[in-house]
Amino acid sequence: MSDTNRDLDGALALSQAVRWPYRRDDWRVALDLGQGLLAEADGEIVASALWWSYGDAFATCGIIIVSPAMQGRGLGRALMDTMLEATSDRTLLLNSTAEGHRLYEAFGFSDIGTVHQHQAQRPAMLSPFPTGPVRRAQASDLPAIVQLDRHAFGAERTRLIEMFVRIGTAMVIERDGVIDGFATCRPFGFGQAVGPVVATSTADAQLLIGHFITEKAGQFLRVDITGDSGLGDWLTAQGLPEVGNVTTMIRGQRPPLMGPGRIYALASQSFG
């Protein structure tokens, strides 16, 4: 078995030990798109921390895990030290669980928002949502999707979006020849994850997510929405209740967001 396979096996066992739903493929995508630290003790992976850099000034980080048996011994602090060194002066954005919050505060992160995890196993039969201006994305839409995302997220995520389109599907909203919203949906965890969702209104975000609610009937569906998205009650009414939330934290200055599109659902809690 190659080192990479061994690392993936160990990483998967680590995330399972803290009951995260990551599959082997989810780890592979995360490692492909970013960089990471894995700590090993007695032949086992006992801790992880990953980051995804966007240029020299900004990165997101996540999948910061210490195995239950090793927690409370300073390993989390050591991971953060090494990661901050590796990401140098970049602004860092993360989504913190309650367990991680004190650790991140100690490293100068402060709260800037919340993310709400909505998910459920979907019934097999659903009446279709109105589609309106929603259509399936084509290869020629990619530059417009990347630009919309860059303005809403504050950094260019071409590789991430290309990867999500490759392993999943993307829908766009087009009006008068202009693309002003998009959403991707890909296999993740127990089923499918919708996001990122970038739109210019809550109604458009609902159209995009609604498409996948219909398309993925019979499957497990997850959406991680921003606290100011205005989508929580609507998702709950669609049978996708909130099952948990995390706090968005930042260390440094977030790159300016340009709109008019904004992020309604994250690529993932780790990717931001």
Q: Which residues here bind ligand COA, judged by CB under 6 A? A: 18, 64-66, 71-77, 96-97, 99-100, 102-103, 106
Of the pair 46, 198, the CB lying nearest ligand COA is at 46
Nearest distance, CB of residue 20 and ligand COA, angstroms: 7
| Cβ pair 168, 211 in contact under 8 A | no
HSE-up (13 A, CA, CB side) for residue 248: 21
Tell me if residue 127 falls in helix, strand or coil: coil
Nearest distance, CB of residue 70 and ligand COA, angstroms: 6
Of the pair 62, 210, the CB lying nearest ligand COA is at 62
Nearest distance, CB of residue 77 and ligand COA, angstroms: 4
Of the pair 103, 217, the CB lying nearest ligand COA is at 103
Of the pair 96, 238, the CB lying nearest ligand COA is at 96
Nearest distance, CB of residue 81 and ligand COA, angstroms: 10
Of the pair 91, 206, the CB lying nearest ligand COA is at 91
Nearest distance, CB of residue 34 and ligand COA, angstroms: 15
Q: Which residue's CB comes closest to ligand COA?
A: 76
Distance CA 92, CA 42 (A): 31
Q: Which residue, chain included where needed, has tokens 């490293």?
A: 107
HSE-up (13 A, CA, CB side) for residue 129: 21
Distance CA 186, CA 46 (A): 28
Nearest distance, CB of residue 55 and ligand COA, angstroms: 23
Distance CA 157, CA 17 (A): 30
| Residue 15 token pair | 């995330």
| Cβ pair 13, 44 in contact under 8 A | yes
Of the pair 17, 167, the CB lying nearest ligand COA is at 17
Nearest distance, CB of residue 100 and ligand COA, angstroms: 3
| Residue 225 token pair | 């929405």
Of the pair 83, 240, the CB lying nearest ligand COA is at 83
What is the tally of helices (H) and strands (E) in the chain? 8, 12
3-state secondary structure 193-259: EEEEEEECCHHHHHHHHHHHHHHCCCCEEEEEEECCCCCHHHHHHCCCCEEEEEEEEEECCCCCCCC
Of the pair 18, 120, the CB lying nearest ligand COA is at 18
Nearest distance, CB of residue 218 and ligand COA, angstroms: 31
Q: Measuring CA to CA, how many Å separate 27 from each of 33, 47, 130, 202?
A: 10, 14, 35, 31
